[in-house]
Amino acid sequence: MSTSANPLAADSAATVVAHVRTLITRGTLGPGARLPAERQLARQVGVSRPTVRAGLRTLAALGVVRSRRGSGTYIPDGPPTLGVEALTFVASLHKFSGDDFSEARRVLEVAAAGMAAERGTPDQLATLADEVAGLFASMTERQVFLVHDINFHRGIAAASGNPIIASLVEMVSALYYERRRATAERAVDRDLHAAADAHRRIYQAVRAHDPERARQLMNDHLVEARAYQLREDARPAPRPRARRRPAR
């Protein structure tokens, strides 16, 4: 009986993963570092280039490396994350609900907001300000608004100064984005304005170094955000706009 699975190939790919892990552990590779070229990795590990590519795909799914077209494969600069494909699979398998996401975000992000108010750097505060400005500038572009929304929360997590919290928020944000982008077009102007205002108030509390207020505002916002999503889920999808025929 033939099978597409190849235990030897899987073992060889695992050797590539182990080799890169060793390079990271020794400090040879760090955040932002470029991995050796495929040919060089193949020589170092003693495997074929297709096996190297299989190992790199595994590392990419784990969020350990990212490929840049025409440039190579790099260790990400930001907090480590599990690849969104793997997370999406796990979420589907275990039927993560909207309430599950909401609870997880409150556990993580309320604390992160308070920590950001205590530890946020000037550069991190500037990033948050840019995302708030982006929210107000993209009221008519729901998908762009969603990106600024997600990036604001990632920025809060980064400003917490705790890389584990930042990593966990990155993971949850990736899943939340995949879930929300399917319904973002159903958001109404009133909810978008309220959400943008909430983000601005959170930013102001963080900038004022008021952790208690930052935590309270983040909690209130996430409770409201869950209500917004429930309303979006209940609305029918908007009809695509008819294209105008050019005048003859």
For residue 125, pLDDT over 80 is answered with yes
For residue 68, pLDDT over 90 is answered with no
Domain definitions of the chain by residue range: 8-74, 84-233
For residue 178, pLDDT over 90 is answered with no
**Is pLDDT larger for residue 63 or for residue 190?**
190
**pLDDT grade for 94, boundaries at 50, 70 and 90:** confident
Residues 133, 142: Cα–Cα separation, whole Å: 15
**pLDDT grade for 4, boundaries at 50, 70 and 90:** very low
For residue 188, which of 225, 226, 228 has the smallest C-alpha distance?
228
Q: How many other CB atoms sit within 10 Å of the CB of residue 140?
A: 9
The CATH fold assigned to 8-74 is: Arc Repressor Mutant, subunit A (1.10.10)
* Helix pair 49-61, 7-25: axis angle to 10 deg: 70
Domains 8-74 and 84-233 are alike in CATH topology: no
| Percent of the chain residues topping a pLDDT of 90 | 56
In CATH, what is the architecture of 84-233?
A: Up-down Bundle (1.20)
Residues 124, 85: Cα–Cα separation, whole Å: 28
For residue 203, which of 108, 124, 90, 106 has the smallest C-alpha distance?
124
For 197-228, what is each residue's pLDDT tens digit?
999 999 999 999 999 999 999 999 999 999 98
For residue 60, pLDDT over 90 is answered with no
Instruction: Specify whether the CB–CB gap between 65 and 20 falls below 8 A.
Output: yes
DSSP letters spanning 190-239: HHHHHHHHHHHHHHHHHHTT-HHHHHHHHHHHHHHHHHHHHHHHHSPPPP
For 148-167, what is each residue's pLDDT tens digit?
999 999 999 999 999 999 98
For residue 198, which of 243, 147, 131 has the smallest C-alpha distance?
131
**What predicted TM-score, i.e. pTM, was given to this entire model?**
0.70
